[in-house]
């Protein structure tokens, strides 16, 4: 089928043959799983489509589903850009993602237990000692501490891409406070409102069951001796960029959304201040970073945390999800050892591929990196949100020299990976009034509890809206798509 | 419910109600003055001063000539003064944000739309020709908010706290409006026999409280000072009256504090006491000393607010 002549909203769809297009094959025909969808969308005139698109945007804006962008002068409220053309994942592909994501979460959990206890993996020389000793996210306070249920990473966000070879690769694991899940649900709602007709043609898994599963997971790791645990979500406050998500999760779970100042600790138990006086809190889903949770134990000037919280945690009187100190394991340097870590703890082959990584801390790999910057992506190991990433083939000669200098100064801080070609997906672009190819990735959400696990059947497909851009983070101007996982 | 969130809900209710009264006061005073029966009531300066008096920023110097556009801008859309409508709507939304997990999606969406409506209203349009459109829209949107509060929230303590805020504010605003119009009536005496009792300002007052039609139905006579005060303060069937507001506050405090015999230091006790005092007043008694009554009830309302803060919002 010729995509251009018959479908006005695909008029400017230029297919770059070197990229992996998820919807169209080499000949420009839509792939089996997308055929019905493409036919339905193709029927719209540009005018109709623009009107639908605006309705979807207004729906987000009116509901206040926005995030703050920290600019130089003022903080602006923006809608998370949303594309109406959903991404579809076929059942057999989803199975790989789901089992792979659970496998990684389990392995990371065992790894965390080990490095905060016997450190067998280091003694067995699978990973080097300096991976931990030089990591700013390794919390000595967590050494020897047993988190309730033995779980560290209750909530994991795994960022996955589809490479030019059509295979899925993990780009990174996020096991501190991964965000984005509320947008998965909002995207679904917005799409249903705008294009309810298309859902009849596909059997898609629901995504609205995330909150109930999250509550199950949180309740499963209740402190010893508690029958009906009181769970809460703790947020840094209304000015946090993910505040909407925090309030959504609390509302959807039917639990209180607290700030640090709402909690206090007495005799190593945690209480929240209600209109009827103190009420004991048993499980805290925290969306506050490690170093801010307790000024007595960590950053003394933190006003976001609760003095004494860590002591209560240490006594086992309260559960924190995720556990403090998980950041050491989603470090981009640890990432490179993931195949070995999975093998070591689970005795399994990794289901999802890892991207080959060069450690700048190793002299021979450092040498390779410095010589091949133009072909590599350079990432700081301890940053998130897409900050500090340099993409080699986008740099000028001068910029390359700057990056080289930075790496030489702090080799431990950087890793390098070959530039992965993220798959592309048709995305509506306002300027050209047409769909165009844009790079996408997928963040999946995995929950791990005591004898329970759950992967949200869907996830956040993030889109890099600028042509040719590979960075999809919302803080870098990325958008998102609804993601359909089809039933078998 | 968290103490902090209760505080936010309480103030959300108050600011919603406050916004409405300011908007209606602007609207009614401005437009009824256009064809008022006496010169003073028609005077722009008189109306602008009345507006400033009502929002609590009275112009004390009699010789100052007020600029209409400036006054309207300040009360309507000036984001840098705390008493403006735009600031009040911002406070509504800020408080709703902090309590976003306990209020309904529907209520939040209406608040958010309201906020964006006010935020995006063109200043020049407003001060030159949009006063009617803007204030009518604002009062209607607050009515939507009250509808969403009533219809999309569980009638539990969350609802009770919001309604306490709303009704304490309503009583406060009605009293403030009575105070402002009483001042106006002292200046612009009636067109029939030149007494304060028959001032045109009583009609305006009733309209400011959206109670003129109700009042006509009840008394079937042109309002005078006694009947207006009686209706707006003491008539418990009038949904805008001080008495009705106090009854509402009383009803809702009993949801939050269910003790059989509230202690003498509790909010519940104080509310009952203030309510009872008002219940056994009569209009002639109030008219003898309107100023004294106004000051007394206002200070009681402040006391109730302070008590609530101490008892429930302590965090």
DSSP H helices, A63-126, are 91-115, 120-123
Decide if pLDDT at A3 tops 50.
no
Buried-state track B130-149, b at ≥16 Cβ within 10 A, e below 16: bbeebbebbbebbeebbebb
B94/A238 Cβ within 8 A? yes
Give which of A284, A279, A275, A276 is closest to A309, Cα–Cα: A284
Q: Would you place residue A2 in the very low, low, confident or very high pLDDT band (cuts 50, 70, 90)?
A: very low
Please indicate if any CB of chain A lies within 8 Å of the CB of B212. no
Give which of B163, B98, B157, B94 is closest to A250, Cα–Cα: B98
Cα–chain-centroid distance for residue A260?
Answer: 24
Decide if pLDDT at B180 tops 60.
yes
User: How many whole angstroms separate alpha carbon B73 and alpha carbon B52?
Assistant: 12
Decide if pLDDT at A339 tops 90.
yes
Which of A251-260, A293-302, A337-346, B66-75 is predicted with the least confidence, judged by mean pLDDT? A293-302
pLDDT at B191: 52
Q: Would you place residue A194 in the very low, low, confident or very high pLDDT band (cuts 50, 70, 90)?
A: confident
Give the best-scoring range by mean pLDDT among A30-44, A155-169, A370-384, A467-481. A155-169
- Antiparallel, parallel or unpaired: β A231-234 and A256-258: parallel
Which of A312-321, A428-437, B83-92 is predicted with the least confidence, judged by mean pLDDT? A428-437
The pLDDT > 70 percentage for chain A reads: 95
The pLDDT > 90 percentage for chain A reads: 56
pLDDT at A6: 65
User: How many whole angstroms separate alpha carbon A54 and alpha carbon A369?
Assistant: 45
| 8 A C-beta contact, residue B180 and residue B187 | no
| 8 A C-beta contact, residue B181 and residue B204 | yes
pLDDT at A476: 66
H or E element that contains B268 = helix B267-279
Decide if pLDDT at B190 tops 70.
no
Q: Would you place residue A380 in the very low, low, confident or very high pLDDT band (cuts 50, 70, 90)?
A: confident
Contacts of B105 in chain A (CB under 8 A): 63, 251
Distance from CA of A306 to the nearest CA of B (A): 13
Decide if pLDDT at A273 tops 70.
yes
Q: What is the mean pLDDT of residues B65-92?
A: 96
Q: Would you place residue B110 in the very low, low, confident or very high pLDDT band (cuts 50, 70, 90)?
A: very high
Is the confidence metric ipTM above 0.90 for this complex?
Answer: no
Residue A164 backbone dihedrals phi, psi, to 5 degrees: -55, -25
Contacts of A61 in chain B (CB under 8 A): 116
Residue A287 backbone dihedrals phi, psi, to 5 degrees: -120, 30
Which of A61-75, A185-199, B53-67, B149-163 is predicted with the least confidence, judged by mean pLDDT? A61-75
User: How many whole angstroms separate alpha carbon A219 and alpha carbon A231?
Assistant: 7
Decide if pLDDT at A385 tops 70.
no
Q: What is the mean pLDDT of residues A202-215?
A: 95
B161/A275 Cβ within 8 A? yes
Q: In B, residues 89-148, which contact A (CB 8 Å cutoff)?
A: 94, 97-98, 100-102, 105, 108-109, 112-113, 116
| 8 A C-beta contact, residue B247 and residue B253 | no
Q: What is the mean pLDDT of residues B76-88?
A: 96
H or E element that contains B302 = helix B290-312
Enumerate residues 6+ apart whose C-beta is below 8 A from B15: B88, B89, B91, B92, B95, B169
Q: Computed over its alpha carbons, how large is the radius of gyration of chain A?
A: 23
Decide if pLDDT at A384 tops 70.
no
* Mean pLDDT score across all residues of chain B: 93
Who among B2, B256, B313 is closest to A272 (CB)?
Answer: B2
The packing angle between helices A338-346 and A91-115, to 10°, is 80
DSSP H helices, A129-287, are 130-133, 181-194, 196-199, 210-220, 243-253
What region does A368 belong to: left with phi over 0, alpha with psi -120 to 50, or beta?
alpha
Q: Tell me which residue has tokens 């009704």.
A: B167
Q: Would you place residue A73 in the very low, low, confident or very high pLDDT band (cuts 50, 70, 90)?
A: low
Decide if pLDDT at B126 tops 90.
yes
User: How many whole angstroms separate alpha carbon B232 and alpha carbon B214?
Assistant: 10
Tokens (6 digits) for A261: 């100042």
pLDDT at A468: 75
Q: Would you place residue B156 in the very low, low, confident or very high pLDDT band (cuts 50, 70, 90)?
A: very high
User: How many whole angstroms separate alpha carbon A292 and alpha carbon A301?
Assistant: 9
Give which of A458, A462, A465 is closest to A483, Cα–Cα: A458
A243/B97 Cβ within 8 A? yes
pLDDT, tens digit, for every residue of B191-235?
Answer: 555 567 777 888 889 999 999 999 999 999 889 889 999 999 999
Residue A313 backbone dihedrals phi, psi, to 5 degrees: -65, -45
Give which of A285, A266, A86 is closest to A191, Cα–Cα: A86
Coil/strand/helix, residue A130: helix
Decide if pLDDT at A196 tops 80.
no
Residue B267 backbone dihedrals phi, psi, to 5 degrees: -60, -40
Q: What is the mean pLDDT of residues B267-281?
A: 96
Q: What is the mean pLDDT of residues A412-441?
A: 89
Q: Which residues of A touch B (CB under 8 A)?
A: 61-64, 233, 238, 243-244, 246-248, 250-251, 256-259, 261-262, 272-275
Q: Computed over its alpha carbons, how large is the radius of gyration of chain B?
A: 19
Which of A194-198, A232-236, B262-266 is predicted with the least confidence, judged by mean pLDDT? A194-198
| Bond before B93 cis per omega within 30 degrees | no
* Mean pLDDT score across all residues of chain A: 90
User: How many whole angstroms separate alpha carbon A124 and alpha carbon A231?
Assistant: 39
Between these two residues, B160 and A166, which has the higher pLDDT value?
A: B160
Coil/strand/helix, residue B256: helix
């Amino acid at each position: 089928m010729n995509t251009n002549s018959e479908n006005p909203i695909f008029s400017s769809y230029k297919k770059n043959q070197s990229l992996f297009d998820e919807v169209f094959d080499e000949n420009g025909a839509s792939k089996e799983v997308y055929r019905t969808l493409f036919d339905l969308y193709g029927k719209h005139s540009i005018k109709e489509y623009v009107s639908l698109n605006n309705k979807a945007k207004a729906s987000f804006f009116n509901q206040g589903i926005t995030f703050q962008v920290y600019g130089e002068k003022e903080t602006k409220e923006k809608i998370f850009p949303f594309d109406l053309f959903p991404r579809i994942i076929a059942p057999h592909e989803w199975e790989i993602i789901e089992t792979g994501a659970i496998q990684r979460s389990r392995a990371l959990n065992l790894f965390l237990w080990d490095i905060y206890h016997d450190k067998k993996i280091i003694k067995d020389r699978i990973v080097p000692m300096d991976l931990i000793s030089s990591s700013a996210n390794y919390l000595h306070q967590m050494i020897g501490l047993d988190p309730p249920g033995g779980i560290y990473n209750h909530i994991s966000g795994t960022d996955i891409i589809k490479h030019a070879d059509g295979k899925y690769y993990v780009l990174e694991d996020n096991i501190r406070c991964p965000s984005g899940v509320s947008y998965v649900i909002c995207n679904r709602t917005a799409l249903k409102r705008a294009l309810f007709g298309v859902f009849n043609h596909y059997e898609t898994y629901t995504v609205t069951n995330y909150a109930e599963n999250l509550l199950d997971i949180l309740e499963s790791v209740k402190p010893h001796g508690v029958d009906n645990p009181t769970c809460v979500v703790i947020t840094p406050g209304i000015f946090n960029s993910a505040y909407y998500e925090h309030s959504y999760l609390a509302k959807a779970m039917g639990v209180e959304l607290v700030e640090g100042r709402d909690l206090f600790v007495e005799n190593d138990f945690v209480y929240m201040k209600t209109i009827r006086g103190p009420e004991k809190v048993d499980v805290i889903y925290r969306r506050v970073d490690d170093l801010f949770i307790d000024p007595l134990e960590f950053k003394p000037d933190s006003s976001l945390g609760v003095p004494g919280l860590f002591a209560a945690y240490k006594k086992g009187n309260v559960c924190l999800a995720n556990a403090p100190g998980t950041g050491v394991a989603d470090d981009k340097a640890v990432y490179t050892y993931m195949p070995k870590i999975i093998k070591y703890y689970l005795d399994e082959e990794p289901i999802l591929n890892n991207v080959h990584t060069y450690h700048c801390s190793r002299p021979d790999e450092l040498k390779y990196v410095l010589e091949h910057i133009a072909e590599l992506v350079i990432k700081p190991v301890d940053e998130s949100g897409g900050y500090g990433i340099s993409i080699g083939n986008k740099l000028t000669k001068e910029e390359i020299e700057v990056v080289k200098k930075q790496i030489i100064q702090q080799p431990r801080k950087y890793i390098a990976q070959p530039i992965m070609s993220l798959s592309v997906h048709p995305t509506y672009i306002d300027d050209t009034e047409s769909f165009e190819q844009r790079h996408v990735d997928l963040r999946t959400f995995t929950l791990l509890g005591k004898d329970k696990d759950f992967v949200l059947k869907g996830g956040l497909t993030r889109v890099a809206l600028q042509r040719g851009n590979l960075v999809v983070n919302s803080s870098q101007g990325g958008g998102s798509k609804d993601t359909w996982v089809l039933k078998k | 419910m968290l103490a902090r969130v209760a505080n936010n809900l309480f103030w959300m209710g108050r600011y919603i109600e406050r916004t409405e009264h300011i908007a209606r006061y602007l609207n009614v005073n401005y437009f009824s003055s256009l064809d008022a029966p006496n010169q003073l009531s028609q005077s722009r300066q008189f109306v602008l001063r009345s507006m400033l008096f009502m929002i609590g920023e009275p112009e004390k110097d009699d010789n100052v000539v007020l600029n209409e556009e400036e006054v309207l801008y300040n009360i309507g859309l000036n984001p840098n003064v705390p008493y403006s409508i735009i600031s009040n709507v911002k406070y509504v939304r800020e408080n709703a944000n902090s309590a976003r997990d306990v209020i309904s999606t529907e209520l939040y969406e209406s608040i958010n739309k309201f906020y964006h409506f006010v935020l995006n209203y063109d200043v020049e349009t407003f001060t030159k020709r949009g006063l009617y459109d803007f204030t009518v829209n604002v009062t209607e949107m607050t009515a939507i908010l009250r509808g969403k509060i009533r219809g999309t929230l569980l009638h539990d303590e969350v609802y009770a706290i919001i309604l306490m805020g709303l009704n304490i504010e309503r009583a406060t605003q009605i009293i403030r409006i009575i105070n402002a119009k009483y001042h106006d009536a002292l200046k612009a005496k009636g067109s029939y026999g030149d007494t304060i009792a028959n001032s045109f300002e009583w009609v305006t007052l009733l309209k400011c409280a959206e109670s003129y039609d109700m009042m006509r139905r009840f008394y079937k006579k042109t309002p005078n000072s006694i009947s207006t005060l009686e209706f707006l303060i003491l008539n418990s069937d009038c949904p805008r009256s001080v008495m009705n507001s106090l009854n509402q506050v009383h009803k809702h405090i009993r949801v939050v504090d269910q003790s059989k015999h509230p202690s003498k230091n509790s909010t519940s006790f104080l509310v009952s006491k203030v309510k009872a005092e008002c219940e056994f007043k009569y209009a002639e008694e109030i008219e003898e000393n309107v100023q004294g009554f106004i000051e007394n009830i206002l200070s009681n309302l402040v006391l109730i607010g302070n008590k609530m803060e101490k008892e429930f919002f302590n965090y």
